[in-house]
A = this chain, B = another copy of it.
Amino acid sequence: MSLPKSEEQLMQYLWQTGPSFMKDLIDAYPDPKPASTTIATLLKRLQDKGAIGFKKYGNVREYHPILKKEEYFSKHFNGVIKNFFNDSVSQFASFFASDKNLTDAQLDELQKIVEAQINQRKK
């Protein structure tokens, strides 16, 4: 399932802050905030797609993600890698590691993470 940007953005809020009420979502938007009905529409569409659900507390709904962030991202991401790097993870990794946007410190951190992961798998 690939979500349009506006819906994806809304999912971000839900993923980051967890179950939320409409007003929280509105608060989360930066100025200039969209009309509340706009957000309501997005919520509706996401419900229709089964990406979110809600729990009723009295008459207010607390929305929560059903679609998992990791799951969504993983699919998304694998598609991107496949497209851009011919499905070659190492080609991608190479690109990523040499990205100017990575600071030296981040690169070191990346190294640690990879090592940790390798060790963990050995077990």
Contact = CB atoms under 8 A, between A and B. Distances in A.
A38 interface: no
B121 A109 contact: no
How many copies make up the complex?
Answer: 2
Taking chain A's interface residues, is the majority helix, strand, or loop, or is none over half, making it mixed? helix
Nearest to A122: B104
Given A80-B77, A80-B80, A121 B107 contact: yes
Q: Of residues A12, A76, A113, A114, which shows the largest number of chain B Cβ atoms within 10 Å of its Cβ?
A: A114
Interface of A: 8-9, 12, 16, 69-70, 73-74, 76-78, 80, 83-84, 86, 89-90, 93-95, 97-99, 101-102, 104, 106-111, 113-115, 117-118, 121
